Structure 1
Amino acid sequence: MSQSFPGQVVLVTGAAAGIGRATALAFAREGLKVVVSDIDAAGGEGTVALIRAAGGEARFIRCDVTRDAEVRALMQAIREAHGRLDYAFNNAGIEIEKGKLADGTESEFDAIMNVNVKGVWLCMKHEIPLMLAGGGGAIVNTASVAALGAAPKMSIYAASKHAVLGLTRSAAVEYGKKNLRVNAVCPAVIDTEMFRRAHEADPRKAQFAQSLHPIGRIGTVEEVAAAVLYLCSAGAGFTTGIALPVDGGATCI
């Protein structure tokens, strides 16, 4: 179903695979000009190739979202190529924890906070002026169901995603009267390449992951993409500052 996006410009970070790739493809199918960004150049170019093969318009710009100069350069490249930015999906993130809070290391903390929090903050910091110059827009940040409660053995990750919601809600209030909406999606366990690698050696873990969701299965990247497109669409024009669970009912338990 068309969301009335044709001709507009969207940036998707963390778009080399998984949720980011699926969302970039979904935006392209709706007629948007897609800027694909990631630190993984091969994966990012692969996403662009898939979009172009389907008749869409896309370009890849490598960017480390933890570096201010690179995010600035990304926005300048978008400005020069398109003259505007209508939507942004700030999806770049990492999860590298494997133990309880007291087992975490300073390097893990710094890495997770740098990408998941500083990266979202830097992207929003530089996206917002470009969007406001064009009359407004919509931003969606990737949080997690971990941002809506606890995440045992992923305490730093959970803290980073709680912080993403703080950034999201604050920006929504600050810029609401300027025709700029800011929301977040909160996925539960999603069927990505990362998930399959982590669970293919132990089917019992995959079964346990499925059991966490009352709907009886884990989610798909396309389902998260659909939620992102909705939050950017005119149909969500009165929706800002929300954390939308895409979780198969997991947060109801």
Structure 2
Amino acid sequence: MSAVLVAGADGGIGRACVEAVEASGTSAYGVDLSGGIDITTPGGAEKALAEAQARHGRIAGVVHAVGMSGRRLGDGGVAECTDEAWHEVHRVNHESVFRLLRAAIPALPEGGSIVVIGSALGTSIDDDFRTVAYASAKGALIPLIRTAAREAAPRGVRVNLVSAGLVATPMSLRARTSASVQARLPSLMPLGASPCRPEEIAQTVLWLLSPQSGRTTGAVIPVDGGWHLR
């Protein structure tokens, strides 16, 4: 039996990934803070993998869907971002990816796949989304996953990143309900001019986990309604 470990399973995208994996006929093992596993802390990623293996045996895929907004901590422009926001956002959104990659690459079998959820803000600047800690943490994922992909390739393990646009999740509620953002959606996301659904992100994740993407690694795949075309 093989399964997929989904970290951040209580979030909108993480929950959609669990549902998509299970709908495909593969078992999913979701972990999150509510279940007592915090992959952002030392040993958390190893614990998640050990529990998933104990439950399902062979783990063939790993999804990192852990993330946070730092607005409440003072994330904003460079001149206003607080130390607390900078450190906590990078710890959760960037450092935790490193921890999970470090634990997962040697644990996965040949043919294994790791998918990280990134953000269009990692490669674009927009005044309505000026959060330097969040954007820089997401942008830093690109060299991280490419380095990991290069190291994992000889093992037959793939590492890819999904660059998500504005997604209809609880975390994005403030942005999605902003009058300014709503007025600009046709230019921000011209393909559909509406936020992405978590299920749309999950379907791309599912493809990256599958053998159909077996020759794809180190890729940054946008699922953003055309955000990156601006």
What amino acid does structure 1 have at the position aligned with 2:68?
Answer: I
CA distance in 1, matches of 2:120, 2:36: 28
Within the candidate set 90, 93, 101, 2:67 is matched to 93
- What is the match of residue 7 of structure 2? 13
- The answer as to 2:32 corresponding to 1:38 is yes
Identical amino acids, percent of aligned pairs? 30
Within the candidate set 149, 170, 182, 1:206 is matched to 182
CA distance in 1, matches of 2:176, 2:226: 22
Within the candidate set 188, 191, 203, 2:165 is matched to 188
**How far is the alpha carbon of 1:69 from its aligned partner?**
2.0
- What is the match of residue 122 of structure 2? 147
- What is the match of residue 144 of structure 2? 167
CA distance in 2, matches of 1:160, 1:197: 20
Counterpart contact for 1:214–1:250, Cα < 8 Å: yes
Counterpart contact for 1:211–1:217, Cα < 8 Å: no
- The answer as to 2:90 corresponding to 1:84 is no
For residues 9-68 of structure 1, give each alpha carbon's deviation from its aligned partner in whole angstroms, at most 9, with x where no partner exists: 1011111031110111000001111111111x2xxxxxxxxxxxxxxxxxxx53212212
What amino acid does structure 1 have at the position aligned with 2:115?
Answer: V
- The answer as to 2:59 corresponding to 1:110 is no
What amino acid does structure 1 have at the position aligned with 2:20?
Answer: A
TM-score of the superposed pair, with normalisation by structure 2: 0.90
Gaps of 5+ in 1: 1-6, 42-60
Within the candidate set 35, 40, 46, 1:66 is matched to 40
TM-score of the superposed pair, with normalisation by structure 1: 0.82
Gaps of 5+ in 2: none
CA distance in 1, matches of 2:225, 2:29: 30
Larger mean Cα displacement after TM superposition, 191-200 or 162-171: 191-200
CA distance in 2, matches of 1:165, 1:113: 14
CA distance in 1, matches of 2:223, 2:159: 17
SS of residue matched to 1:224? helix
For residues 119-160 of structure 1, give each alpha carbon's deviation from its aligned partner in whole angstroms, at most 9, with x where no partner exists: 0111111111210xx334000011111222335421111111
CA distance in 2, matches of 1:219, 1:184: 17
Number of aligned residue pairs: give it: 224
Within the candidate set 86, 104, 113, 1:138 is matched to 113
- What is the match of residue 46 of structure 1? none
Residues 235 and 164 of structure 1, relative CA distance in 2, 3 Å threshold: same
SS of residue matched to 1:107? helix
- What is the match of residue 50 of structure 1? none
CA distance in 2, matches of 1:110, 1:76: 28
Larger mean Cα displacement after TM superposition, 169-178 or 69-78: 69-78
- What is the match of residue 155 of structure 2? 178
- The answer as to 2:18 corresponding to 1:24 is yes
C-alpha RMSD of the superposition: 1.8
Residues 151 and 179 of structure 1, relative CA distance in 2, 3 Å threshold: farther
CA distance in 2, matches of 1:81, 1:10: 11
- What is the match of residue 133 of structure 2? 156
Counterpart contact for 1:135–1:179, Cα < 8 Å: yes
- What is the match of residue 245 of structure 1? 222
